[in-house]
Amino acid sequence: GDAESLQGLSWWPLHQSGTAKAGAHDAVVRGGTQWTDGPEGGALQLDGTSGYADTGTRLDTAGKDYSVAARVRLTPKDMNGFHTALSEDGDRVSAFFLQYSGQDGNFAFSFSGTRAVATSEKPQPGRWYHLTGTYSQKDHLMRTYVDGRLAGTRVASNNVYPTGTVVIGRAKFDGKPVDYWNGDIADVHVYDRELTSREVSSLSSREPG
């Protein structure tokens, strides 16, 4: 059924007990992190300087459709910077970024040098949002969804080959870890296909489980 297909390639609720529910790997938490309350029972709190989690899962973004999603909450600290909720390590730079862009004052699904910035209302710190980024190889369309609604699109292609795994709470740029998330992340999903807008809406509103 719907819930089954929305389980995706992998799912990390990031509730302290068992960080992975689907997929092969538990996420490994590193740096400045602690467990906190989330919208549905728990979340990973990240310090904005060193905290992240490695999912141990590689998403094939080269020539394939894919989608990534997470529930996120920002702190008021450094709302002018970049903070990345989900990315995948390439050799020198992330293959994609699901992030908050201080430069744009909003969420975005990004490639290096290109952002599909959300045009929805400016994110407020302390509030939970559901973010989804999808990519279609056929029409090279990046889509950014906020709380289940399409909020931004961009036509772009990306030639960064993923050499690492999907990471929660930071990105990579110039060969170095950057853009640490400052706040909380929960309910991370990774899909090896492009979700439809209806699926994104369903994913953002449904109770995890």
Bridge-based pairing state of the strands 82-90 and 176-178:
unpaired
**Tens of pLDDT, residue by residue, the chain (209 residues):** 455 566 667 888 887 755 556 565 778 889 999 999 888 778 999 999 999 999 999 999 988 999 999 999 999 988 999 999 999 999 999 999 999 999 999 999 999 999 999 999 999 999 999 999 999 999 999 999 999 999 999 999 988 999 999 999 999 999 999 999 999 999 999 999 999 999 999 999 865 44
Distance separating alpha carbons of residues 141 and 126, to the nearest angstrom: 30
Bridge-based pairing state of the strands 28-30 and 52-54:
antiparallel
Assigned architecture for domain 2-205: Sandwich (2.60)
List, for residues 76-127, the tens digit of each pLDDT value. 988 999 999 999 999 999 999 999 999 999 999 999 999 999 999 999 999 9
pTM of the model: 0.92
Within 8 A by CB and 6+ apart from 174, the residues are 92, 93
SS3 state of residue 82: strand
End-to-end CA distance of the chain: 14
Distance separating alpha carbons of residues 35 and 86, to the nearest angstrom: 18
Half-sphere CA count of 25, side-chain side, radius 13 A:
16
Domain ranges of the chain: 2-205
- Tell me what pLDDT residue 41 has: 79
